[in-house]
A and B are shown apart, each in its own frame.
Chain A
């Protein structure tokens, strides 16, 4: 399945995602700059924040409150902000598009 990560300047990287992995793992495996995920996906570090393309938002379950609280403390938050570690890739998300924020910190 295809996953696209834009950087903040609009440059795209198209990578191959694996069903079942989360988008943070996918980004790190493909060396996407700016997604750190230092805690490994436990919603404990707030360093895998990204913006989900608005066209894809409706296909995701909304964030649960722990993720919501972490997002509230991130930098440059937008309505489409998510922690990528909480977005599990599946066939229905083939083609999903993220934009990586300018900085996690």
Chain B
């Protein structure tokens, strides 16, 4: 394909940090609702308009996600609900949905999520300056998954290494496939144990699940639990960082974060709108389609511009203002339609719990002066680091 019409040809959205992503989106939007940009070196259609991103998510005739994910995810992740479509997807999703529904997730807050958050915040306690990303937001959703899966604490470290490597397939195919094999060999022992001695935990629910007469094979369970890390950990930690960057920068928001569960829901939702952890979501066109006055051919890659859609001024007036009270019911952060993020409730409860506990325990926490927060990444996006003083500025303590 010709590159002559590429916009911002100096930027590759797969590799570059793009700290000024929001400003670039504003510029790109002036060229139309669907624009050609560079991604992994190639010309790729970026969809910017809220209505069109929503439409593409809902259009399984032209944007069936399965064929694309077969190419980029299946080799290292195996067959998962991400790589399936039609009845196969519906049944496979039906088999794993129950543990992610609101009532089940609500019960996890006290039993699982709060203790993990507190354990990690113990490592923040007593420190003068600390990076909240590496100390708290990054390990937090990861540990929620490992403990949900019944992985012993001493194995969390190597689990983290495999999980990071497994989604590196587009960048390091051999390493990703090797990590998958190691991860699956490890998880197989837990599956075997729960098949023999179900305990009622998350893995027991998976091995016992039945939907329309179907059950989950070991292969499907392995694929699914492997998907939990990239889908549930890498995303949530990025958003947790963005959330704290925002709230720490605004005393009114911090005060509101301690007010009520409803206030925390609204603040978290606005952070999910403003800085979605999956900024641009790669999707391959599964058929020829015309979208926003451009012709997209079957097999061409597009980027669903979630951050752009969530900042579309037609839907979100003054989109760069952080306003928890706006109507955020149609944000596209968790996708849309049948492949809508299964872990949405878990992610939200993790974020709301983090927001409450951080400011209950460290009500004077401030961003460290002279350490500006830099948001990086156009696929997965969040702050690189968040240097904070848990007990406030030194003069405040005296």
Binding site for B on A (CB under 8 A): 28, 31, 36-40, 42, 44-47, 66, 69-70, 72-75, 77, 104-105
Q: Mark B87-110, 1 if CB is under 8 A from A, else 0.
A: 000100110011011111110000
Query: Is there an interface contact between A105 and B329, defined as CB atoms closer than 8 Å?
Result: no
Q: With A66-B94, A69-B98 given, is the CB distance from A38 to B104 under 8 Å? A: no
Which of B40-48, B246-254, B299-307, B336-344 lies at the binding interface? B336-344
Please name all residues of chain B whose beta carbon is closer than 8 Å to the beta carbon of A46 when the two chains form the complex: 101-102, 345
Query: Is there an interface contact between A105 and B94, defined as CB atoms closer than 8 Å?
Result: no
Query: Is residue B349 within 8 Å, beta carbon to beta carbon, of the partner chain?
Result: yes
Q: With A39-B336, A42-B337, A69-B98 given, is the CB distance from A105 to B54 under 8 Å? A: no
Q: With A40-B336, A69-B94, A105-B265 given, is the CB distance from A28 to B329 under 8 Å? A: yes
Please name all residues of chain A whose beta carbon is closer than 8 Å to the beta carbon of B100 when the two chains form the complex: 73
Please name all residues of chain A whose beta carbon is closer than 8 Å to the beta carbon of B93 when the two chains form the complex: 44
Chain B residue, CB-CB nearest to A40: B336
Q: Which 7 A-B pairs have the closest CB atoms?
A: A73-B101, A39-B340, A44-B340, A42-B337, A42-B338, A40-B336, A105-B102
State the interface size on chain B (CB cutoff 8 A).
32
Query: Is there an interface contact between A73 and B340, defined as CB atoms closer than 8 Å?
Result: no
Query: Is there an interface contact between B101 and A40, defined as CB atoms closer than 8 Å?
Result: no
Minimum CB–CB distance from B105 to chain A (whole Å) comes to 8
Please name all residues of chain B whose beta carbon is closer than 8 Å to the beta carbon of A45 when the two chains form the complex: 334, 340, 344
Binding site for A on B (CB under 8 A): 54, 57-58, 90, 93-94, 97-98, 100-106, 265, 327, 329-331, 334-340, 342, 344-345, 348-349
Alpha-carbon gap, A87 to B348, bound state (A): 27
Please name all residues of chain A whose beta carbon is closer than 8 Å to the beta carbon of B342 when the two chains form the complex: 44
Minimum CB–CB distance from A35 to chain B (whole Å) comes to 8
Q: A45-B340, A46-B101 are in contact. List 5 more A-B contacts (CB 8 A).
A: A36-B329, A38-B331, A39-B334, A39-B335, A46-B345
Partner of B329, one of A37, A44, A72: A37
Chain B residue, CB-CB nearest to A43: B338
- Can you offer 28 A-B residue contacts whose CB atoms are under 8 A? A28-B329, A36-B329, A37-B329, A38-B330, A39-B336, A40-B57, A40-B336, A42-B338, A42-B340, A44-B93, A44-B339, A45-B334, A46-B102, A66-B90, A69-B94, A69-B98, A72-B98, A73-B97, A73-B100, A73-B101, A73-B102, A73-B104, A74-B102, A75-B103, A104-B102, A105-B106, A105-B345, A105-B348
Q: With A46-B101, A73-B103, A105-B265 given, is the CB distance from A40 to B58 under 8 Å? A: yes
Alpha-carbon gap, A66 to B90, bound state (A): 9
Query: Is there an interface contact between B94 and A75, defined as CB atoms closer than 8 Å?
Result: no
Q: Quick one: which of B57, B100, B327, B329 has the most chain A CB within 10 A?
A: B329
